Amino acid sequence: MSPSGPDASASDPARGRARSVSAPDNGGLARLAVGAMGVVFGDIGTSPLYALRDTFAGRHPLPLDSLHIHGIVSLMFWSMLIMVTLKYVIVLMRADNRGEGGSLALLALINRQGVGKRWGRGVILLGVFATALFYGDAMITPAVSVMGAIEGVAVYRPELHYAVVPLVVLMLIGLFVLQSRGTARLATFFGPVMLAYFATIAVLGAISVGSNPHVIAALSPHYALLMFAADPGRGFLAMGAAVLAVTGAEALYADMGHFGRLPIRLSWLTVVLPALVLNYLGQAALLLRDHGALTSPFYLLAPHWFQWPLLILASLAAIIASQAVISGVFSVTQQAIQLGFIPRMTIRHTSLAAGQIYIPAINQALLVAVIVLVLVFQRSTNLTATYGVAVTGAMMIDNVLLAVVLARLWHWPKALALPLLTLFMLVDGVYLAANLTKVPDGGWVPLLMGGVVFVLLTTWSRGRALLRNRMAASGIPLEVFTKSAHASAIRVPGTAVFMASAAAGVPSALLHNMKHNKVLHERIVLMTVQIEDTPFVDPGSRAVVRDFGSGFYRLTLRFGFLEETDVPHALQTITLGGERFDMMRTSFFLSRQTLLASDTPGMALWREKLFAWMLRNSASAMEFFRLPTNRVVELGSQIKI
């Protein structure tokens, strides 16, 4: 049954992990709110390092005068209110999938509830494309955040400008190397450090505003309108830099499962938003007093004695922002694997805490991409030219997904939904159009990477569907097989588990075992692992068993898309035929397909070859399902798709 209102999902008793933190006591709420600052707000929190500066010193600079300074601060303030506070904090965070947020979680929710076959596939493709854009954006965030912070060295000591790029590269390499060791201990310091950072930038901003209190008038929306009326062309182009003030807004939604909506809302409304507004106002007041401060209005807010402490604090904040993005990439990749959009990869759990994972292949690829960006673009101003296209594209897609939620799941009246969606579409659409002007200057980088990732995601999803269909077409019903096999095969002691991708028919591994070994174990279990469109599955409904007699069973294990697929652990809770599973008397049989590209209708030949390459390089089912290595037998076959 679809929810009937925006808070309907909150009534679900099977909330899982995120539900347990959605309504903590006051002490727990405060701790979660501080923790959210260290994970959720790193990206948007480090935007003051470069956002205001680049509107006046970027690719399309505004004149450095009172009209444009007041106008751009007004634009940033109202963008944060509309795009972050209203859209994400108030509205979208209500659209959770059992407590989890983000494009994939929202897509899974929509897919589970059903949006109609006529346009459901288009919505799915949009959600996948938003995920692909996230990967493109994730390459840029660590590079621009750390670069923007370390450039403070050149601000305070211009003769050390040559050391900025090497320092950035060394810091990033160290950050990515540490990923394999986990961040559970380090994460406990993230929140307090970011709290100190936000308090510091708020105080520095307030001191600067105190010397020119009239700058507070820039919070009025009419200043942004005056700027566009007087200088529409430059104002439009400057929006490509102004959007930097809201990058990271989607993290509020994507990281909701880690903290719950209430702590994130509390952090944003009471600490992060006021600190950002005060700092932007302080930078504006500084620029009104001293145009020469445009070199770095963020760092030049600090008095001389506090310059190096601010540099250290900002650098720590930039590292934390980068860490949050890297952890987010790991989490999104895990979701995409579980939902069938990415091949199986080696996933290592670095802590007993949920969500603390490390994916070596993703870590290495992201490190290479980030280092290449730093070496190619050299300065944060150049990097910001690549920033914003992917972010605003993903925000526009979130609007489409939100429209589906409002219309099909929450059934909001049109009189309420249409004005809200129109506002979001208008603001995000103008920002997207302004950021598209960055494409020749570097905006093509996240678009290219997002396009590549989108092709990979859709190729894998389509290829898996075709592979399942081909195997199902050549399969035989289990009922027929059990009757013939029981009478003709020799039975040996023990349990044989045959992994099957489909919950019907006989897996090829069982057929090959019969063909070559001509024996059957006393217990034959055909097991299918099914990933649900929910983050977590109730342990009581984990297993579904069907007894076909003669020692044949079909077992379906259900996991949420954020759960670890630990098959042996799940089997220990199951009894078949009056016996529990004994891993020392259980053998696992896996099918290993070798794909042969063909002209069979389904996918273009080049995509078939790409899918075959992805399949060859995916992690083995043995590792992914955590099967005991000394109890696994792999049987290969060739198949055309």
Question: 120-144, pLDDT tens digit by residue?
Answer: 677 778 888 888 888 888 888 888 8
Q: In what helix (H) or strand (E) does residue 15 lie, and over which residues does it extend?
A: none
> Is the domain of 438 the same as that of 481?
no
β-bridge partners, 101: none
Task: Give the span between the Cα atoms of 527 and 507, in whole angstroms.
Answer: 9
Per-residue pLDDT of 53-84, as tens digits, reads 888 887 778 888 999 999 999 999 999 999 99
Provide the pLDDT for residue 76.
Answer: 93
Confirm whether 10 is domain-assigned: no
Instruction: Tell me the three-class secondary structure of 333-381, residue by residue.
Output: HHHHHHCCCCCCCCCEECCCCCCCEECHHHHHHHHHHHHHHHHHHCCHH
Q: In what helix (H) or strand (E) does residue 459 lie, and over which residues does it extend?
A: helix 444-473
Provide the pLDDT for residue 512.
Answer: 78
* Owning domain of residue 541: 474-640
Within its chain, how far is the Cα of 247 from the centroid? 14
> Is the domain of 127 the same as that of 269?
yes
From 424, 442, 460, give the residue that closes a domain: 442
Give start and end residues of each alpha helix (H) in 388-443: 389-404, 414-436
Confirm whether 66 is domain-assigned: yes
From 401, 422, 442, give the residue that closes a domain: 442
> Is the domain of 428 the same as that of 507?
no
Distances (CA, A) of 62 to 34, 72, 325, 456: 36, 9, 30, 40
Provide the pLDDT for residue 354.
Answer: 53
Give the amino acid at 545.
Answer: V
Angle at 211 between CA 210 and CA 217, to 5 degrees: 70
Can you read off the two tokens belonging to residue 591?
């099918």
> Is the domain of 434 the same as that of 495?
no
Task: Give the span between the Cα atoms of 320 and 190, in whole angstroms.
Answer: 7
Confirm whether 350 is domain-assigned: yes
Average pLDDT estimate for 218-243: 87
β-bridge partners, 436: none
Count of residues for the chain?
Answer: 641
Query: Would the pLDDT of 257 be above 50?
Result: yes
Provide the pLDDT for residue 70.
Answer: 93
> Is the domain of 258 the same as that of 379?
yes
Mean pLDDT of the chain: 81
Task: Give the span between the Cα atoms of 13 and 3, in whole angstroms.
Answer: 14
Task: Give the span between the Cα atoms of 56 and 70, in whole angstroms.
Answer: 12
| In the block, residue with structure tokens 């540099």 | 311
Confirm whether 46 is domain-assigned: yes
> Is the domain of 220 the same as that of 290?
yes
Provide the pLDDT for residue 26.
Answer: 56
Confirm whether 468 is domain-assigned: no
Query: Would the pLDDT of 444 be above 90?
Result: no
CATH number of the domain bearing residue 309? 1.20.1740.10
For the chain, give me the number of helices (H) and strands (E)? 27, 10
> Is the domain of 251 the same as that of 167?
yes
> Is the domain of 372 the same as that of 481?
no
Per-residue pLDDT of 153-186, as tens digits, reads 888 888 878 888 899 899 899 888 888 776 656 6
Residue 520 — pLDDT band, cuts 50, 70, 90? confident
Confirm whether 613 is domain-assigned: yes
Task: Give the span between the Cα atoms of 399 and 121, in whole angstroms.
Answer: 17
The total domain count for the chain is 2
Residue 6 — pLDDT band, cuts 50, 70, 90? very low
Query: Would the pLDDT of 216 be above 80?
Result: yes
Query: Would the pLDDT of 349 be above 60?
Result: yes
For 262, counting Cβ atoms within 10 Å of its Cβ (0-12 exposed, 13-18 middle, 19+ buried), the class is middle
Provide the pLDDT for residue 234.
Answer: 85
Query: Would the pLDDT of 12 be above 60?
Result: no
Which residue, 210, 223, 200, is CA-closest to 285? Answer: 210
Provide the pLDDT for residue 209.
Answer: 94
Confirm whether 29 is domain-assigned: no
> Is the domain of 493 the same as that of 373?
no
> Is the domain of 291 the same as that of 342?
yes
Task: Give the span between the Cα atoms of 486 and 560, in whole angstroms.
Answer: 35
> Which of 15-19, 460-464, 475-479, 621-625 has the highest mean predicted lDDT (pLDDT)?
460-464
Q: What pTM was estimated for this model as a whole? A: 0.78
Provide the pLDDT for residue 340.
Answer: 80
Q: What percent of the chain has pLDDT over 90?
A: 16
> Is the domain of 311 the same as that of 370?
yes
Provide the pLDDT for residue 538.
Answer: 85
> Is the domain of 129 the same as that of 200?
yes
Provide the pLDDT for residue 80.
Answer: 92
Residue 449 and residue 139 in contact, taking contact as beta carbons nearer than 8 Å:
yes
Under 8 Å CB-to-CB from 190, ≥6 apart: which residues?
Answer: 35, 37, 38, 39, 42, 320, 323, 324
Q: Which of 11-25, 101-115, 246-260 has the lowest mean pLDDT?
A: 11-25
Provide the pLDDT for residue 273.
Answer: 94
Confirm whether 218 is domain-assigned: yes
